[in-house]
Structure 1
Amino acid sequence: MSLISPKAFHLLPLVVLGLVLGVSGGWIRLGSPVIPITSAGMNHGLLMVGSFLGSLISIERAMVLKKKVWLAIPFLTGLSSLFFLTGMIQVGLYLLLVGSLGLGIIMHLQSVRHPHFHTYLLYAGAMFWFIGNFMTWRSGLIAAGTTWWMGFLLFTIVGERLELSQFLPVPQWAKKALAIHLLLVFIGLLVPFHTWGNELLGLGILLIAVWLLVFDIAKVHVKKTDQFRYLGIGLRTGYLWLGAQGIILFALENHPLFYDLMLHTFFLGFTFSMIWAHAPIIIPTIFGIRETPYHPILWVSWTLFQLSLAGRILFSLIEIYEFRKAFGVANGYLILIQFGLMAGIVIWKIRKRKLLGNLNHQRKEKAHLNLDSLA
């Protein structure tokens, strides 16, 4: 068996393209065209949530089914970035619609085979992604899909946390409380924002953040060392960002940058904290490698990312726009640096293992030659 599953690995360029275009679009929307691609600015949300995050999650879920034909789904969603890049927005949207529906089919099959609460959450998340894409396609407005995309990522991440923590003893009442909190979020997605939808959504999200801080296994990982401590602190930091978003949704509706604050505490603070915390566990599983993308150097870029995001949010709250832009641009660079470091760590570990393997092989051959000469 090869060290890397070629079919899954070959989707990475499309995923990376979605990330780079999404980050460049974020820079443009901040008023700093570091990479001046107009179409990236127009389709920033579609690129980040669909072409990048949606493709990454679809690869993970497709690999669970073993049959590589399911990788056609993340291939379609990853391919959407090329069409968004060239201005063929409708084609890119169609690909995301088909891909998100495909992820829903994957999760339907998995929930039939493994009928557990966490699997149903993953199933619901996939369908929320499809609904968000459909709302955007139908209305022509990215804002029409954003809350459903938040539901997609929230339900997916909570489902994955429950899946990874299913053997942790959690009181039955706490499990029921989490179900109520998630139901509150779902109702908040259904109710229009101009009535009381944002308050319901914010309350549900805040309660879920508190639940995760209290009951998730991350509290155990924090007390350990090295990779496990990185995992635990990363997760719990993400839960704090989720709580911050809940407060913003509930209390800051009249702030001039409400929409920006609401989106980026969630999609950057919460979601990227989750990705980087899960990466040492998920990436080796998805791509069939032994090496984990963890090294203590990640703490540096991870910390700088969190500080730059905190700076962006702070200066957004107090409406100092130049500092907000500066911290936002730095935040984008640090996203790319963090992923670049993880890729470099994996490559370095693979080369190091191959080198050690070759040295051991040479030593064995030398030992055999010595034995033969003695004989």
Structure 2
Amino acid sequence: MTMKRAEAGMPSRGFPRASILVLVIALAAGVAMLSGLAGGLVRIGWPLLPEHFVAPVALHSALMVCGFFGFGIALERAAALKQPIAFAAPALAACGTGAALALQPGLAGIFWLLAALALVAVYAEVLRRAPELHTAVEAAGALAWAGGTLWWLLARPFSVVVAWWAAFLVLTIFGERRELARFVPLSEKARRGYIAMVVVQLGALVVLAVPWHEHPIAGGLWWLSMSLFSGWLLRYDLACRPRVHRFGWALHTARSLRLGYTWLMLAGLWGVVNALRGMPLDSPGPLHMLLLGFVFSMVFGHAPIMLPALLRTPISPPGPFAFVPVGLMTLGVTLRAVGDAIGSGGVGAGAGALQAAAILTFAFTMIRHLRR
């Protein structure tokens, strides 16, 4: 796949027309990310937008999950499949972002639902060519994106929507990490554990989707699956293998991923405790730890692999400040957890500013190294 080629250090030189097309349509992802960040900062107390410009505020979560992450995952899959029809998914996701920023949330939801279904079709084609367990897990993630978007359009409780959307991200990452190590054999115990955790996650999503989802057991089961995912990754993932000499971006990726798996473990445990206390699944503490701590650690770790492959251009070795964005995000997530635990809006606002700075700093770092 595309990421494997980049890991091997063999990105092709030049800047072909396909890469220019990728850059142009990727602007939609950048707009979605910046709008989502602005909306998130406004929600925690930073007056960055006038009151009448409410789209990034009201659609903060949708823009980040569907407009940014959904677009990015669909684009990477399309580039790997190398079929023009596969680009329908990222194109539809970009249209959804445009509709959201035009204050048309219903139309945006329809575009994003179609994008998710198109991504499911892409995975179906990949499975037809080469049936693999990791591809089936990624396809289940795309179905979770479609399901969450459908529940959002049907105005289901946000706890249900966020569970399905978060499952889209987690299942995609879980599948991709196994995809990158597909030539490293797993023991039968590890393989059974891998399948069992996916079944637990999907079972929790189904239970949450039925009318009596308010029962805390369903939310606790969902959060428990997150801790199980983390434990499996910390034990079997390539980034966590001991006695492996790493340097450059490989070391950066391993550090980011290990940190992300730790955040996922802590988020899952916190979520289980909240469920035992009768608190809703979408309580801010563990949810922020999952979406900002875990997911963005994955972004920071995978971007040096994926971007050179997508753009078909080399990336220069990391400098001494390449890990600074990861450090800023770690500090921000820690402060955000403290703020959520003690109910301090001021601490949460400061943490949000740090997290936004981490994302923007990382984007600048990647652009700088790719230009070199």
Give the SS at the match of 2:146.
helix
RMSD: 2.0
Q: Are the equivalent residues in 2 in contact too, given 1:209–1:243 (CA < 8 A)?
A: yes
CA drift of 1:73 comes to 1.8
2:27 corresponds to = 13
Q: Are the equivalent residues in 1 in contact too, given 2:285–2:336 (CA < 8 A)?
A: no
Query: How many percent of aligned residue pairs carry the same amino acid?
Result: 27
If the length of structure 1 is used for normalisation, what is the TM-score?
0.88
CA drift of 1:208 comes to 1.1
Query: Which amino acid in the other structure matches residue 238 of structure 1?
Result: G
CA drift of 1:318 comes to 2.0
Closer/same/farther in 2, CA of residues 175 and 257 from structure 1, 3 Å limit: closer
Counterpart mapping for 1:226-245 below 5 A = 226-245=248-267
Once residues 298 and 35 of structure 1 are traced to their aligned partners in structure 2, the CA distance between those partners, rounded to angstroms, is: 31
2:306 corresponds to = 282
Once residues 343 and 35 of structure 1 are traced to their aligned partners in structure 2, the CA distance between those partners, rounded to angstroms, is: 27
Counterpart mapping for 1:1-375 below 5 A = 2-4=14-16, 5-36=19-50, 37-139=53-155, 142-192=158-208, 193-195=213-215, 196-220=217-241, 223-253=245-275, 254=277, 259-291=283-315, 294-347=318-371, 349=372
CA drift of 1:241 comes to 1.0
CA drift of 1:39 comes to 1.1
If the length of structure 2 is used for normalisation, what is the TM-score?
0.88
Once residues 75 and 96 of structure 1 are traced to their aligned partners in structure 2, the CA distance between those partners, rounded to angstroms, is: 10
Once residues 282 and 323 of structure 2 are traced to their aligned partners in structure 1, the CA distance between those partners, rounded to angstroms, is: 30
1:364 corresponds to = none
Once residues 27 and 318 of structure 2 are traced to their aligned partners in structure 1, the CA distance between those partners, rounded to angstroms, is: 21
Deviation by residue 1:12-63 (Cα, 9 ceiling, x = unmatched): 2111000000101111111212244421010001100000000000000011
CA drift of 1:223 comes to 4.5
Give the SS at the match of 1:180.
helix
Give the SS at the match of 1:191.
helix
Closer/same/farther in 2, CA of residues 58 and 225 from structure 1, 3 Å limit: same
Once residues 293 and 82 of structure 1 are traced to their aligned partners in structure 2, the CA distance between those partners, rounded to angstroms, is: 35
CA drift of 1:320 comes to 2.2
Q: Are the equivalent residues in 2 in contact too, given 1:46–1:142 (CA < 8 A)?
A: no
Q: Are the equivalent residues in 2 in contact too, given 1:293–1:346 (CA < 8 A)?
A: no
Query: Which amino acid in the other structure matches residue 177 of structure 1?
Result: G
Once residues 125 and 282 of structure 2 are traced to their aligned partners in structure 1, the CA distance between those partners, rounded to angstroms, is: 39
Q: Which has the higher contact order (CA 8 A, sep 6+)?
A: 2
Query: Which amino acid in the other structure matches residue 336 of structure 1?
Result: L
Once residues 78 and 297 of structure 1 are traced to their aligned partners in structure 2, the CA distance between those partners, rounded to angstroms, is: 32
Where does the alignment leave 5 or more consecutive residues of structure 1 unmatched? 350-375
The answer to which of 132-141 and 145-154 deviates more is 132-141
CA drift of 1:6 comes to 2.1
CA drift of 1:142 comes to 4.4
**Aligned residue pairs, count:** 348
